[in-house]
Amino acid sequence: MKPTSDRASKRGRAGALLLLMLLVLSFLLTACSGGAETPKEQKSHVLNGIATVDEKYTKDMNPFSSTANPGVSSLIYEPLIFTNIMDNSLTPWLASGYSFSKDLGTLTLTLRKGVMWSDGIPFTANDVLFTFRLLKKYPSMDVNNLWAYLANVEAPDQYTVVLSFARPYPPLLWSVGKTTPVPEHVFSRVADPRPGHFINESPVGTGPYLLKSFDPYLVQYVKNTRYWQADKAQISEVRFHVLKNNNEAWEGVASGRYDWSGIFPSGDINATYVKKDPAHNHYWFAPYANLMLFVNHERAPFNILPIRQAISLALDRERMFKDAEGGYEPVASPTAVVLPGHKKFLDPQYANLKFSRDLDQAKSLLAAQGYRAGADGILQSSLGTRLSFNLVVPADWSDWVEVCKIIQDNLKAVGIEVKLNGLSVQKYYEARSLGDFDMLLGTTTPSPHPFYMYDMLLNSSQVPPVGEAAVSNYERWRDAETNELLNQYAGTIDPKVQQQALNGLQRIMVEKLPAIPLLYAAMWFEYNDKRFTGWPNEKNPYASAQVTDSDNIMVILNLKPVS
Q: Is 352 exposed, middle or buried (0-12, 13-18, 19+ CB in 10 A)?
A: exposed
pLDDT of residue 8: 32
pLDDT tens readout for residues 194-248 = 999 999 999 999 999 999 999 999 999 999 999 999 999 999 999 999 998 888 8
Cα distances (Å, whole numbers) of residue 169 to 100, 172, 406, 462 = 10, 6, 41, 16
**Nearest-angstrom CA–CA distance, 54 and 76:** 25
Label residue 465 by pLDDT band (50, 70, 90): confident
Q: Tell me: pLDDT of 467 over 80.
A: no
Residue spans in the chain of domains classed CATH 3.90.76.10: 78-187
* Fold designation for 78-187: Dipeptide-binding Protein; domain 1 (3.90.76)
Count other Cβ atoms within 10 Å, centred on residue 162: 16
Cα distances (Å, whole numbers) of residue 536 to 58, 270, 554 = 30, 19, 10
Residue spans in the chain of domains classed CATH 3.40.190.10: 209-285+524-561
The rounded mean pLDDT for the chain is 91
CA angle 360, 365, 367 (to 5 degrees): 90
Look up the pTM and report it. 0.85
- Region 493-517 average pLDDT: 98
Label residue 44 by pLDDT band (50, 70, 90): low
What is the four-CA torsion angle of 23, 29, 33, 38, rounded to 10 degrees? Answer: -20
What is the four-CA torsion angle of 313, 319, 321, 322, rounded to 10 degrees? Answer: 160
The CATH code that applies to domain 209-285+524-561 is 3.40.190.10
* Bridge partner list, 528: 281
**Nearest-angstrom CA–CA distance, 545 and 523:** 7
Between the two ends of the chain, the Cα-to-Cα distance in Å is 61
pLDDT tens readout for residues 385-427 = 999 999 999 998 889 999 999 999 999 999 999 999 999 988 9
Residue spans in the chain of domains classed CATH 3.10.105.10: 288-522
CATH 3.90.190.20 fits 288-522, yes or no: no
- Region 128-156 average pLDDT: 95
Percent of the chain at pLDDT exceeding 70: 92
